[in-house]
Each structure stands twice: as structure tokens, then as C-alpha cells.
Amino acid sequence: MRTRSRIFAAGASLALLTGACASGVGNGDGEPVTLAANPWPGSFANVHVAAQVMESELGIDVDITEIDENAQWSGLDGGELDAVLEVWPSGHGDNIETYIDDLGSVEDLGELGALGQIGWFAPSYVVDENPDMATWEGLEGNEEMFATAETGDSGRFLAADPSFVQFDEVIIENLGLDFEVVQSGSEAAQLTEVEAALDDGEPVLFYFYTPHWLHAKYDLELVELPEYEEGCEEPEEERTCGYPEDVLMKVAAADLDERNEEAYEFLVNFQMENEWQDEITFMIDEEGMEPDEAAAAWIEDNEDAWSAWLP
């Protein structure tokens, strides 16, 4: 039933939308809002918390559409989506330029409140045994430890889901390390492989990020790369520095404030700190709760936090 009401509502919102476009009237009090959920638990956590608070406290109908990160920009621009609550700016430079700066059809709603960090990760048991490996210099000369059948004598560096912008190949080459980058193809494949290695106590080095539920399940260490500084990524082919901290952001369709001012203001106020997100994603991934149940449980315990978002 849930799914059915969703498409009906989607159809209805389209009808309203075209109606609004035709008449040019922008006052749509109580108009439903469609939030994008990207395929990672953190995104689900944000969206379900926001949706439940908006529905119960503001009486706004919220639809959730599960969608790929790249396709979502077109959705915001085309009117099928109203807001995305967790954008990692480091991977979306082009989209931000096109849709926010040039077209102006998407609006920056400000920071989410969580910080993201992309980097190279290794299991703690590897770093504990080889303390040098806390930094990249320690990897030098020990690459073969990470070798697998696929990479032969070189060490294996497990790349991320291809939708993330990655510079590991360049960094590895410029740092003179003997790693072969193995493309994961999808986050699911990468996680499966990493978990297999972790369960077996094998060494593994991979691109990863926080916040992510994997950190709650396993002890992972961020391997230090040359620190990111403004401009160190230019020119790209000479880059040696690691990844900057991502200040996660929220975006919305540019006309959302005209169509549903209440929802717009709520989303501007909406915040999700790393710690909160970790709590929720842990409930989803380790306690087997559905995202909406986990969000409800968190809302129950954290009224102080979300009451501040209400307009």
C-alpha cells in the first residue's frame, strides 16, 4: 500500500506542478514534497527522519524516491524531486556548476552538519601489527602484503563505487607506490570484498569514507596521505595529496520556497550530525530495523534536536 500511495501522490504532484506552471501561481500550501534517498544508509537515515518530522509536526506529505546520485540532479531540475539532504560536494563539482551556478534550477540549502572524510582505509589489525602503516610512507615496500591473485606481485588497492570521484591511481603513481587499483564497480561489490577480507583477517587497503556503518562493525584505520591543501589537486596529473574533508550539503529545487515555504524553511534548518547518523545507520544495518523504524526510534529519543528545525 505504501508504494501505491507513493505513485498516486507522485502523479498528483505532477498534475499540481503542471497546473502551477500553467497558471503561474506559486502558492501551494501543504503541497507534498519529494525527497531523494541515495543508495547508502546515511542518506536513508536523513531522509526518513526529515520525512517523519515533517509529516507529524508540519502536516506535510512527503514522498521518498530512491535514486542514483547523478540522476537526482536531473530530477531536481525537472520537477520530480524537491530536495536532496546529503550531497558530497567533492563528487559533484560539475553538477553544482551546471544546476546551481548556471541554470539556477537547484538551490544550495546549506550544510547538513555532518562532515565526510574520504581516504585510504586499512583494518586496525594490520596497522596494529605494522604501526608504520598509519601513514602512506609505511606502505612503501610493503605493498606485496596486499597482493592478491588479481594483482600478482603488486599490492591491491580496492577502489570505490565508480560514482565517487577518485584520484587514487594518480596519487599512487606520484607517491611511487607499487599498488594496482582494482575497480570495484559498485559499493556492494566493494563492501562484500572488504568484509570477506576482514572476516578472514586478511590485509586489505581500500578507498572508503566516513560516516558509514562499516566503521561501527569493524575497526578501520585511516591511512594518512600527504595533507590536502587548497590547490594541491592542481594540476591533477601531479597530485600527491589526499582527499579534503567533505562538508556535506543539502540542495533543493529552486522554486521549493515558492511552492511550500514551510517545507523549505524546515529543510534549511535540518541538521544531521555524524554521531546521530551513525546511531541510526547502526540500527538499520546491525539491528536489522527498517529505515523508517530506525528513524522513528531516533526521533523518540531526540526531541531536543529536531524541535530546533521547525520553522
Q: Closest by alpha carbon to 117, among 164, 175, 156, 171?
A: 164
Distance linking the first and last C-alpha atoms of the chain: 31
Phi, psi angle pair for 147, to nearest 5°: -70, 150
# residues contacting other proteins (CB under 8 A): 61
Whole-angstrom Cα distance, residue 28 to residue 15?
13
**Least distance in angstroms from the C-beta of 277 to other proteins:** 15
* Residues in 47-86 at the binding interface with other proteins, rule: CB under 8 A: 65-72, 74-75, 77-81
- Are 225 and 241 within 8 A, CB to CB? yes
User: What is the CB neighbour count within 10 angstroms for residue 167?
Assistant: 18
Can residue 10 be called a binding residue for other proteins (CB under 8 A)?
yes
Span interacting with other proteins, options 45-53, 124-132, 193-201, 225-233, rule CB under 8 A: 193-201
x/- map, 168-187, other proteins, by CB under 8 A: --------------xxxxxx
Stretch that binds other proteins, among 133-141, 191-199, 228-236, 242-250 (CB under 8 A): 191-199
Q: Which stretch binds other proteins (CB under 8 A): 111-119, 156-164, 233-241, 249-257?
A: 156-164
DSSP character at residue 243: P
Alpha-carbon span 279 to 238, nearest angstrom: 39
Least Cβ distance, residue 19 to other proteins (angstroms): 13
Residue 250 φ then ψ, to 5°? -110, 145
Contacts to other proteins by CB under 8 A: 1-4, 6-8, 10-11, 14, 39-41, 65-72, 74-75, 77-81, 94-95, 98-99, 102-103, 148-150, 152, 158, 161-163, 165, 182-193, 195-196, 199-200, 284-285
